[in-house]
Amino acid sequence: MNGLLPDVTALLPTMLGGLQTSLVLTVSSLLLGLPLGLLLSFGVVTPNRVLRWISVFFVEVGRGAPALVLLQLMYYGLPNVQITLSSLVSACLALTWTTAAYTAELIRGGIQAVPSGEVEGADALGLSAGDRLRFIVIPQGLRIALPSLMGFAVLLFQATSLAYTVAVPELMSQAYSTGSSTFKYLPAFIAAGILYAAISIPATWLSVLAEKRMSRHL
């Protein structure tokens, strides 16, 4: 146990590059996944049957399958159909899918929680259906969903640790290679854990804070 602390502190700076890749993966999956999630949240209730079934497929598989399965599906599967992507891009696609599927449900929940009085207010003023969606329902729905979307973002950041299985050089993968080259597995994984926690824990506090503020305003 004696040498553990110095080992960990010595390793921390060497892993910042991996942490950066983890964050890039998180942010790009969110940037692609959130708009898709918004579309899917309407897709799953559209009267158009074909669109609805496609949306339901993406949402159900994206939520029902472990992120690890989606990662491997993209990484091992896409070359089968002659699509070759870098491991970072294929991981980003897999996590975008997960993001879109989860956020679709969260956004739908937010939209359903928009108080009916606000919708009626818009109707009584004669706002068109499109305007009602654009100015009232979507902004309010997203606002209500914000705390849970923030909570999801933290889980997504943690899920990027699984991208090491498809050779993305992110934090976990860096810890693993450091561990196997120096045989100092424990310090390497503890250092990685500290870096993950340093981001996740404050981010979780933020989402809890957002939730408290939200419940005060509703």
Q: Is 147 in the site for other proteins (CB under 8 A)?
A: no
Q: Name the nearest CA neighbour of 71 among 152, 156, 177.
A: 156
Residue pair 44/59 in contact (Cβ under 8 Å)? The answer is yes
Binding mask 193-212 for other proteins (x = CB under 8 A): x--xx--xx--x--------
Q: Is 165 in the site for other proteins (CB under 8 A)?
A: yes
Q: Is 140 in the site for other proteins (CB under 8 A)?
A: yes
How many Cα atoms occupy the beta-carbon half-sphere of 76 within 13 Å?
Answer: 9
Q: Is 3 in the site for other proteins (CB under 8 A)?
A: no
Residue pair 99/160 in contact (Cβ under 8 Å)? The answer is no
Q: Is 112 in the site for other proteins (CB under 8 A)?
A: no
164's enclosing H/E stretch is none
Q: Is 17 in the site for other proteins (CB under 8 A)?
A: no
Nearest-angstrom CA–CA distance, 69 and 159: 12
Nearest-angstrom CA–CA distance, 145 and 106: 6
Q: Is 57 in the site for other proteins (CB under 8 A)?
A: no
- Return residues touching other proteins (CB under 8 A): 60-61, 64-70, 72-73, 75-81, 117-118, 120-129, 131, 135-136, 139-140, 143, 158-159, 161-162, 164-165, 172, 175-176, 179, 185-186, 189-190, 192-193, 196-197, 200-201, 204, 217-218
